[in-house]
Amino acid sequence: MQSPTNQLIVPAGYRPLMDARHTERAIQKIRDVFQTSLAYELNLVRVTAPLFVRSYTGINDDLNGVERPVRFPVGGLDNQEAEIVQSLAKWKRLTLADLGFQPGEGIYADMNAIRPDDAMDNTHSLYVDQWDWELTITPEDRTREFLVDTVRTVYDVIRRTERFICHEYDQLTPELPPAITIAHALDLARRYPELTPREREYKACREYGAVFIIGIGAPLDAGPPHDGRAPDYDDWTTETVPGYRGINGDILVYNRVLDAPLELSSMGIRVDPAALEHQLALTGTQDRRDLYFHRRLLAGELPASIGGGIGQSRLCMFYLRKAHIGEIQAGLWPDEMVARCREAGIPLL
């Protein structure tokens, strides 16, 4: 597999607004307030998440369908393979079913993952920490309107937490707009046909401050999708109005420190059996039908749900106006990147 491209943005004249010791305290405050607010607003119960799952069950998240999970043999299981999670998108839905959660009830978990094929730059690392959440809904809730209402609730929690941490530290000033703008990837592609998806995100974030882009994974006017999505968790093919597909998307905000868009959350209404069959066929992955997760979904054993992941380190990075995610989490970075950050006054942990 081709190595990812590692790129670094070095903001001119950057200086951290707080030292490492105060940063660690602020991170704890942000995490406590955010998860409490999210659980309250969406009626979520905290559950313990796995760090690894059995390989070849379909439970692990395939992300864009090409990223390699970290696999290892387990001696106590006759050397059967396990793999470190990349996210909990499908595990959460199994948990909703197995624990008997009803519509309007849900779960959240602290998810820790390793994604060895991710690029390493200002906002990406090998280590991923998220609040992974999932809410049981009714089949009738599988609509664009329900998706947008949920996005606005999540965004209110994001904005409320920003106001809290800015109240705690005088050197921080709120930047998020009062409301998040809803845009479909197809509209952005038609508005900026000459731009790449990343450039469209930049335009939208600069204009609106915060935007939710619907339809991640769906082809756009017979062209490629805005971004990739695996075929077996988010529903990116259901048509909501003529020509517009997808009941999923990404929450992005404008990162002033980096002058760039920053994705904080990927979320969506999950596939039902019909959407799963359709998306497996579109991606040529019908062989997944025989995996444990997919068999249970196709048999009607899993509830309708909506869910997503919200990056913990990214959220803290945004709130604390950091230039690099390595100022929030300890990690591995290329030697050249470490040297450039040191020269630019960016203190990596």
Task: State the pTM of this model.
Answer: 0.94
What was the pLDDT predicted at 110? Answer: 93
327-348 per-position pLDDT tens digit: 999 888 999 999 999 999 999 9
Please say if the pLDDT value at position 305 is more than 80.
yes
Please say if the pLDDT value at position 239 is more than 60.
yes
Q: What is the DSSP string of 279-345?
A: HHHHHT-GGGGGSHHHHHHHTT-S--EEEEEEEHHHHHHHHTT-S-GGGTS-----HHHHHHHHHHT
Q: Token match 């100022």: residue?
A: 327
Please say if the pLDDT value at position 2 is more than 50.
no
Considering only the C-alpha atoms of the chain, give the largest distance between any 2 of them, rounded to a whole number of Å: 58
Please say if the pLDDT value at position 1 is more than 50.
no
Please say if the pLDDT value at position 63 is more than 70.
no
349 pLDDT tier (thresholds 50, 70, 90): confident
186-213 per-position pLDDT tens digit: 999 999 999 999 999 999 999 999 999 9
What was the pLDDT predicted at 42? Answer: 98
pLDDT above 70: percentage of residues in the chain? 97
Please say if the pLDDT value at position 114 is more than 90.
no
What was the pLDDT predicted at 65? Answer: 56
Please say if the pLDDT value at position 67 is more than 80.
no
What was the pLDDT predicted at 7? Answer: 86
**E strand or H helix at 164:** helix 144-168
Residue bearing the bigger pLDDT, 29 or 221: 29
Supply φ then ψ for residue 307, to 5 degrees.
-170, 180
Residue 67 DSSP code: P
Q: Which residues of 326-337 are buried (b: 16+ CB within 10 A; e: fewer)?
A: bbbbeeebeeeb
Nearest to 37 by CA among 180, 156, 175, 146: 156
> What average pLDDT does the chain have?
93
Determine which one of 35, 266, 305, 312 is catalytic.
Answer: 266
Residue 234 DSSP code: B
| For residues 177-182, average pLDDT | 98
| Fold adopted by 20-344 | BirA Bifunctional Protein; domain 2 (3.30.930)
Supply φ then ψ for residue 106, to 5 degrees.
-155, -175
What was the pLDDT predicted at 5? Answer: 60
Cα 46 to Cα 263: distance, rounded to the nearest angstrom? 24
Q: Which residues of 273-293 are buried (b: 16+ CB within 10 A; e: fewer)?
A: eebbbbbbeebebeebeebeb
Cβ neighbours, 10 Å, residue 298: 17
288 is catalytic: no
Cα 246 to Cα 270: distance, rounded to the nearest angstrom? 10
314 is catalytic: no
5-29 per-position pLDDT tens digit: 678 999 999 999 999 999 999 999 9
Q: Could you give the 3-state DSSP secondary structure of residue 104?
A: coil
Which residues is 213 bridged to in the sheet?
Answer: 183, 250
Determine the angle formed by the axes of helices 20-42 and 144-168, rounding to 10 degrees: 140
For residues 177 and 183, the answer to whether their CB atoms sit within 8 Å is no
Determine which one of 263, 265, 305, 313 is catalytic.
Answer: 263
Determine which one of 129, 162, 232, 250 is catalytic.
Answer: 250
66 pLDDT tier (thresholds 50, 70, 90): low
Please say if the pLDDT value at position 56 is more than 90.
no
Determine which one of 35, 87, 130, 312 is catalytic.
Answer: 130
**E strand or H helix at 202:** helix 197-208
What was the pLDDT predicted at 4? Answer: 55
263 is catalytic: yes
Cα 136 to Cα 304: distance, rounded to the nearest angstrom? 6
Boundaries of every domain in the chain:
20-344
Residue bearing the bigger pLDDT, 107 or 77: 107
Determine which one of 35, 61, 86, 121 is catalytic.
Answer: 61
Please say if the pLDDT value at position 224 is more than 70.
yes
Cα 233 to Cα 328: distance, rounded to the nearest angstrom? 29
| For residues 237-263, average pLDDT | 96
Determine which one of 35, 83, 93, 115 is catalytic.
Answer: 115
Enter the tokens of residue 300.
């009607």
Please say if the pLDDT value at position 235 is more than 70.
yes
329 is catalytic: no
Cα 216 to Cα 248: distance, rounded to the nearest angstrom? 7
Sequence-distant (≥ 6) Cβ neighbours of residue 295 within 8 angstroms: 289
